[in-house]
């Protein structure tokens, strides 16, 4: 899961003894998900999906309402789609999207076993406790509780839990569904990961955001070649130094400032809450995106800098074939996060022009993802989110925001499903160990987020 906002946290949250009976049941579901290893190297999303299907069937879902899927080429990377039929056949469904897979976690690096959920100091520790098994567990729990209530929603609810979100070159279940079984997930809109809140240094909620749009991830190969030769006879034309010069130019290049409806709304809200010089600079940049002075002030914040534009940065380098030989080839991977609507080929051409060296080539690295399109700031969707946020988190500022990361929502836009990163979970200042060591989620945040998201789904589903 890719979170939106930096955060901070100090206060001690609720312990397991403070949980309501329904929260205790949810904890058991969440624990089973966390303790089912779904890493690419050693785990199985298919097994996790099968366990969740068993729970859904125990709650009353018929076999016909649950679809387990797995591509033969990736038998352990399966997922599931579950359907709770609504009363109004004319009302288009809502899709609840989440991913089951997690980033790799080595036991020798972690303080605790990453695939044993540990409660400690007001947190649940374990790989995936935040990204993305927290929200995925909430979606399953909401479907189960809705079914148990005996009251059908007005709109049909669909649940899709997939694999492959965390690994670029792995089989991706959301992509597979969109291309092979779009009818299974067809919906008016989807709720996904990507939204969230932040805590201040005093431990109090500081802000809450719904993700409305995200950047497109695209990798490029930068390559310099040379006939090479013996290292005892150096020459000015050197593949390694040619590549080094190219990467310095790429890393120094600034793409122009861009705004869309989401980022304008986000920065307008941020300007009101920010003291000088940041607040006035944001106001100036909104009025004139070419204002270099305002841009420089705002871009001191790395998150703001990335939200304002396409960014490209070198992430991998490989060169040479022997200690005593001039390199015949030097390559680098440049990872770009493109502003919604950006054409990957236009960005490639821009990088080539920035480098300006005929000896250095720039090419797209598969996969080439769909061009990101920001969904509309639909008041019928965002409005209830904001109203319920005021109820569950009174006094906490609410705004839309664009993710500078990436989610599986990118695959839904081409089949006509606008996707929103639902708010609800709050994050710590260090990012809760997401993608890193000792991942954790604050118990209070998980349980409050569950209540918020459950009511949100009921409200939107009617």
Span 352-373, pLDDT tens digits:
999 999 999 999 999 999 998 8
The encoded tokens of residue 391 equal: 């109820």
Last residue of a domain, which of 365, 383, 415?
365
The answer to the question of residue 230 being in a domain is yes
Whose structure tokens read 């904001």? 386
The encoded tokens of residue 68 equal: 């387990």
Buried-state track 296-332, b at ≥16 Cβ within 10 A, e below 16: ebbbeeeebbbbbbbbbebeeeebeeeeeebbbbbbb
Q: What percent of the chain has pLDDT over 70?
A: 96
Whose structure tokens read 């431990």? 203
Instruction: Give the 3-state secondary structure percentages of the chain, helix then strand then coil, rounded to 5.
Output: 35, 20, 40
Task: Examine the domain organization and report whether 77 and 178 are in the same domain.
Answer: yes
Q: 76, 132 in Cβ contact below 8 A?
A: no
| pLDDT for position 372 | 87
| pLDDT for position 457 | 98
Question: What is the residue range of 256's domain?
Answer: 216-365
Strand order in the sheet with 118-120: 118-120, 123-125, 440-442
pLDDT in tens, 291-332: 999 999 999 999 999 999 999 999 999 999 999 999 999 999
Distance CA 14, CA 123 (A): 9
pLDDT in tens, 415-428: 999 999 999 999 99
Q: Report CA torsion sign: 56, 58, 63, 68.
A: positive
Q: How many domains does the chain have?
A: 2
| pLDDT for position 16 | 56
- Greater confidence (169 vs 66) lies with 66
Task: Examine the domain organization and report whether 81 and 117 are in the same domain.
Answer: yes
The answer to the question of residue 4 being in a domain is no
Q: 395, 352 in Cβ contact below 8 A?
A: no
Task: Examine the domain organization and report whether 406 and 273 are in the same domain.
Answer: no
Confidence at 77, pLDDT banded by 50, 70, 90: very high
| pLDDT for position 150 | 94
Task: Examine the domain organization and report whether 61 and 30 are in the same domain.
Answer: yes
Whether residue 4 is predicted with pLDDT greater than 60 in this model: the reply is no
- CA 317, 318, 321 angle in degrees (round to 5)? 160
Task: Examine the domain organization and report whether 37 and 140 are in the same domain.
Answer: yes
Distance CA 25, CA 106 (A): 29
Last residue of a domain, which of 341, 365, 389?
365
Residue 443 belongs to domain with CATH number: 3.40.630.10
pLDDT in tens, 447-462: 999 999 999 999 999 9
Distance CA 225, CA 414 (A): 38
Closest CA to 134 of 303, 3, 20: 3
Task: Examine the domain organization and report whether 446 and 333 are in the same domain.
Answer: no
pLDDT in tens, 160-202: 999 999 998 899 999 999 999 999 999 999 999 999 999 877 8
Task: Examine the domain organization and report whether 148 and 223 are in the same domain.
Answer: no
């Amino acid at each position: 899961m890719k979170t939106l906002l930096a955060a901070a946290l100090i206060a001690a949250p609720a312990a397991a003894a403070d949980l309501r009976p329904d929260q205790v049941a949810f904890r058991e579901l969440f624990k089973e998900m966390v303790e089912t290893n779904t890493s690419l190297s050693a785990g199985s999303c298919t097994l996790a999906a099968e366990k969740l299907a068993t729970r859904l069937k125990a709650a009353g879902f018929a076999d016909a309402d649950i679809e387990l899927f797995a591509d033969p080429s990736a038998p352990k990377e399966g997922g599931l789609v579950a359907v709770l039929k609504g009363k109004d056949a004319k009302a288009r469904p809502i899709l609840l999207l989440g991913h089951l897979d997690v980033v790799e976690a080595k036991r020798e690096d972690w303080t605790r076993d990453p695939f044993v959920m540990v409660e400690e100091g007001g947190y649940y520790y374990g790989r995936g406790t935040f990204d993305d098994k927290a929200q995925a567990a909430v979606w399953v729990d909401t479907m189960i509780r809705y079914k148990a209530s005996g009251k059908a929603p007005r709109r049909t609810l669909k649940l899709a839990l997939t694999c492959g979100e965390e690994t670029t070159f792995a089989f991706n279940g959301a992509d597979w569904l969109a291309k092979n079984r779009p009818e299974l997930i067809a919906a008016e809109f989807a709720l996904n990961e990507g939204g969230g809140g932040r805590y201040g240094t005093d431990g109090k909620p500081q802000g809450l955001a719904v993700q409305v749009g995200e950047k497109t991830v695209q990798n490029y190969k930068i390559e310099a070649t040379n006939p090479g030769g013996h290292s005892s006879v150096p020459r000015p034309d050197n593949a390694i130094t040619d590549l080094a010069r190219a990467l310095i130019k790429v890393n120094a290049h600034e793409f122009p400032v861009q705004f869309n409806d989401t980022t304008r709304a986000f920065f307008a809200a941020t300007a009101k809450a920010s003291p000088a010089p940041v607040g006035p600079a944001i106001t100036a940049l909104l009025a004139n995106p070419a204002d270099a002075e305002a841009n420089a002030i705002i871009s001191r914040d790395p998150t703001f800098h990335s939200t304002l534009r396409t960014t490209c940065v070198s992430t991998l380098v490989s060169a040479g074939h022997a200690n005593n030989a001039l390199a015949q080839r030097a390559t680098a991977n440049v990872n770009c996060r493109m502003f919604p609507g950006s054409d990957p080929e236009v960005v490639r051409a821009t990088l080539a022009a920035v480098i300006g060296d005929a000896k250095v080539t720039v090419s797209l690295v598969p996969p080439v993802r769909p061009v990101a399109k920001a969904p509309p700031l639909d008041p019928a969707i965002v409005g209830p989110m904001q109203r319920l946020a005021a109820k569950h988190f009174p006094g906490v500022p609410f705004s839309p925001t664009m993710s500078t990361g990436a989610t599986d929502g990118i695959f839904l836009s081409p089949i006509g499903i606008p996707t929103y990163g639902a708010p609800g979970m709050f994050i710590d200042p260090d990012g809760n160990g997401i993608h890193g060591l000792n991942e954790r989620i604050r118990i209070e945040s998980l349980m409050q987020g569950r209540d918020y998201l459950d009511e949100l789904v009921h409200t939107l589903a009617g």
